[in-house]
Amino acid sequence: MTVVGPVTEVVRAGGEHIPDLLDRVESRLAQVAGGHGATLAEHASATIAAGGKRLRPLLVFLAADGADGDGLVRAGTAVELVHSATLVHDDVLDGASLRRGMPTVVATGGRPAATATGDLLFARAFAELARNGRADQVRVLSDASSALAAGELLQRADAWNASVAMARYLRRCELKTARLFEAACRLGALEAGAEPEALGEFGRRIGLAFQLLDDVLDVSGPAARTGKHRGTDLLDGTVTLPFILAREHDPELAALDPRTIDSAAAAERVCDRIEATGALARARARALGMVEDAKGALPAGLSARQRHALELVADGVVARYA
């Protein structure tokens, strides 16, 4: 697997066993996605093969500081499968046509195929993790998956509401994104026989920052860098931090009904307007603050190597372009 940019640094800091663990996850993902009938295999394999940062398996491994058994590979694979499943379903809900620089499953195969592909990936995730024979691990992943579903529902419930409260926005980010980051860290800790609470809290905090940054990238683009179309959130009525902050500084944005944003060109214009208020820098600053809090919450007693690698990954969450 090719890893570029800051991720390379994290992999190096995490230890020599990390690239091997990531390679083993990659092989397992390809096997799992390819093995369930031609149509599903085509869509599931395309989703996996399109790549992605593999950030969640990396977190599993860093949280497990030094462990490198098959159980860890299964945990990393399971988390990435849940993540991929939610992306396939998320693109149905968000009406998104581009993902990881490729057409989405819903764009190429339609809604039924995307629904079934996501379901398959979810099912395989739990089958994979169950092989570890640890009810506590299955519970961690299942709690995160339930939170994800609740987060997506909250997002739909708040769709088109330009004056959504900040607390509700943050709750949505927590449910749909932060909980899976938390689960990744908990699984790594459990597999290594370590205490999962504190590392889980670290994961939750960087997960929150990660979603804030994702929402910034949706407005800033460009698609060539993010692998997703600019303004997708505005077009499907998802009101996020940049828009919430920009409305405080631009009366025209404050008066804008998101339902009137009805084309990619209109979304681009609103993105430019949001950017002009300085809201992206303010949103980034908030995410940075969360990352600093997360680093501060790292437990005492970690090895110097583990602390350094986790700090690097936390920094990478806000210093990214995809």
Cβ(233)–Cβ(301) below 8 Å: no
In the block, residue with structure tokens 């949706």: 218
What is the distance of C-alpha 195 from the center of its chain?
24
The verdict on 236 binding Mg ion (CB under 5 A) reads no
CB 168, min distance to ligand IPE, A: 15
Least distance (Å) from ligand IPE to the CB of residue 135?
25
Residue 133 C-beta: closest distance to ligand IPE, Å = 28
Q: Which does 132 bind (CB under 5 to 8 A by kind): ligand IPE, Mg ion, none?
A: none
Between 230 and 302, name the residue whose CB sits nearer to ligand IPE: 230
The one of Mg ion, ligand IPE, none whose footprint includes residue 311, by CB under 5 to 8 A per kind, is none
Residue 242 contact, options Mg ion, ligand IPE, none, Cβ 5-8 Å cut-off depending on partner type: none
> Closest separation between CB of residue 129 and Mg ion, Å?
24
- The secondary structure of 210-248 as a DSSP string is HHHHHHHHHHH--HHHHSS-TTHHHHTT---HHHHHHHT
Q: Which does 86 bind (CB under 5 to 8 A by kind): ligand IPE, Mg ion, none?
A: ligand IPE
Distance CA 175, CA 152 (A): 8
Q: Does 218 bind Mg ion (CB under 5 A)?
A: yes
Distance CA 170, CA 240 (A): 9
Applying CB under 6 A, the residues found at the interface with ligand IPE are: 52-53, 55, 86-87, 90, 94, 96, 100, 148, 176-177, 211, 214, 218, 228
Q: What are phi and psi of 102, to 5 degrees?
A: -125, 160
- Rule CB under 5 A: say whether 90 interacts with Mg ion: yes
- Is-cis flag, bond preceding 222, omega within 30? yes
